[in-house]
Amino acid sequence: MLGKKVSFTHLRNADMNSMKIALNTLHSIYTCNIHKLPTYVIDHVVNANKSGPAWYNFGKCLNSNNTGSADKSKCLEELEQACSNSDVRVTKVLRLGFTKIGSLLQRLPYLHCLFLLRDPRAILNSRIQTKWFQVQENEPAILKSNVDSLCHKMLGDYNAYNMLQSKFKERLQQVWIHNVTKDEDSMKNLLYFHRLNYTLHKKDREFLDEVFKRKKNNKLFRDWQETLKPEYIAYTEKKCLQFYKATMPNVILGQTT
């Protein structure tokens, strides 16, 4: 649509140049300088259709049959204006790692980072259940290699988070995903962390209850205890032992039989 498509997988195992692209991309989003984004990033966000209404309207504007180059520039201006008018700009950043976040916190004094933690066993279970993820129960060598990488990165992120805490304490927060989905106070604390004094009204509560109900009934979100093989639970617990000791010192491991 706007340019050459490039897989974001390239940015996950990034060399220094592509890591710089990733960090500059996030900086452009947070500062509403969308025109500075690489065209393949814009293509990806629009085509994935998993962002907010401003990006959705931007995609509709671009895909209009009557949209010429001048009109496309107007589409971009409208998106940047919507971004500038927003109270909060949120991105969900996967696999970049907290070791790389420090430079963004330094460059953007208003940036707040939420460290969303999830049990490695639950992550592995989701990866197995996700069709496009290259992890299958019938390929134990690949699966175990994935677990090795996962545990190494999660411990590295946790250690990096703690190092950044000393310098950016008020702008960092850690939360377990299962608490957010079950506890209303946890959700409110997140809003307060982002300086949003928001009251959950009845219709909001009903909406969230419905979302969580759908997730609970979805095989991707079922408890890993129900679907993950005991041998893989044991392997994950062994490889992620240091992570569990650091983040969940009271967790009981080894109860898979």
Cβ atoms within 10 Å, residue 14: 19
Using CA atoms, how far apart are residues 91 and 164, in angstroms rounded to an integer? 19
Could you report the per-residue pLDDT of 64-106, keeping only the tens digit for each? Answer: 756 566 677 888 999 999 999 988 888 888 777 787 888 899 9
Quick one: pLDDT at residue 136?
84
Gap between the terminal Cα atoms of the chain: 52
| pLDDT score of 45 more than 90 | no
In this structure, of 88-92, 127-131, 206-210, 212-216, the range with the lowest mean pLDDT score is 212-216
Helix intervals (H) in 101-195: 102-107, 120-129, 140-168, 177-182, 184-193
pTM of the complete model: 0.77
pLDDT band at 234 (very low <50, low <70, confident <90, very high): very high
Alpha carbon separation from 68 to 3, 55, 75, 82, 252 (Å, rounded):
15, 19, 10, 21, 61
Quick one: pLDDT at residue 243?
96
